[in-house]
Amino acid sequence: MQRFFFNKRLIIVLVTLIIGFVLVALSITVRNNRSTPPIIQQFGNDAAGLVDRVVSYPVSAVGNVGSSVGNLLNTYQENQKLKKQVDSLASEKVSNQAIKKENIALKKQLKLNKTLTDYNSVTAYVLARTPSSWQNQLIISKGSLAGVKKNEAVLSDKGLIGRVTEVNKTNSKIELISTENDSANRFATTILTSDGSVNGLITSYNSNTNRLIMGQIDSQKTMKKGDRVITSGMGGNSPQGIYVGTVTKIEKDDYGLASKVEIKPAADLTNLNIVTVAERTN
């Protein structure tokens, strides 16, 4: 009798292990090629997202009080600093408007209706962050009903933060650019140098120094520290011209052939409340 129970327990454990590993393998393989998660999974996630809103509201209310007090203490210094910037901003804004108008007129003349820089934006707030060191994921409050699609670029008010990996009806998951996931889709980026532009890919992320690594660089133009990096719009997922960050270091890659560039991300990946999903229009 004892023997029988031992076997039964062992079988349960083994079956659970096998089912578990099959599920892991399955979800890893379909993660990058499916268009949306299955209906049942979507339903579960939507229900969970709904409850999460109720729970996260008081937490964010308390958090907001804390940050408001913090902001209040810095207000005076910040005000002085900002006053200096405001004057120059007004003139920049006016010239920007003029250039935008000119751009639209020129596009009309060329009969260019849609270019790489055009995108529709969907604004969402962040519901939760995966409580895990290995998945750098956020859950945001908009899904396929609002027009979010898989693989679209996501930005904060400062710059690029990540990519949509899973879309449910009313919420979706974002993989941050700080991910170390081997199979994550990479962003095509351009370094704006003084004598042109250099194309490449974001290939990895160094979590110790908080730097993005850009590789696969196509030319040897003179890049220098402080050059700005934007998305290039190549590869079809992200629109062109989303600010990624600034160059901090340029060196040869591990084989000494091409350059490897370290980029300081513009967006603060640990302080995100409102994010924008950029949907390419062409």
Q: Name the residue nearer to other proteins (CB basis): 230 or 275.
A: 275
Burial of 222 (0-12, 13-18, 19+ CB in 10 A): exposed
- Least Cβ distance, residue 26 to other proteins (angstroms): 7
Please give the Cα distance from 212 to 188 (Å, whole number). Answer: 13
How many Cβ atoms from other residues are within 10 Å of residue 141's Cβ?
Answer: 20
Burial of 14 (0-12, 13-18, 19+ CB in 10 A): exposed
Positions in 61-80 near other proteins (CB under 8 A): 63
Residue 142 within binding range of other proteins, rule CB under 8 A: no
With H, G, I as helix, E, B as strand and everything else as coil, classify residue 72: helix
Positions in 22-51 near other proteins (CB under 8 A): 22-24, 26-28, 31, 37, 41, 44-45, 48-49, 51
Q: Name the residue nearer to other proteins (CB basis): 144 or 240.
A: 144
Per residue in 76-102, is it b (16+ CB within 10 Å) or e — as a string?
Answer: eeeeeeeeeeeeeeeeeeeeeeeeeee
Q: Name the residue nearer to other proteins (CB basis): 36 or 219.
A: 36
- Among positions 129, 149, 169, 264, the unique one binding other proteins when judged by CB under 8 A: 129
Q: Name the residue nearer to other proteins (CB basis): 6 or 21.
A: 21
- Which region among 109-117, 201-209, 239-247, 257-265 touches other proteins (by CB under 8 A)? 201-209
- Up-side HSE of residue 213: CA atoms within 13 Å toward CB? 18
Residue 52 within binding range of other proteins, rule CB under 8 A: yes
Residue 180 within binding range of other proteins, rule CB under 8 A: yes
Residue 7 within binding range of other proteins, rule CB under 8 A: no
104, 114 Cβ separation under 8 angstroms: no
Tokens 């351009």 sit on residue = 190
Residue 85 within binding range of other proteins, rule CB under 8 A: no
Judged by CB under 8 A, the number of residues near other proteins is 53
- Positive or negative torsion for Cα 250, 253, 259, 264: negative
- Which residues of the shown chain bind other proteins in the complex (CB under 8 A)? 16-17, 20-24, 26-28, 31, 37, 41, 44-45, 48-49, 51-52, 55-56, 59-60, 63, 126-139, 165-166, 173, 180-183, 207-210, 269-272
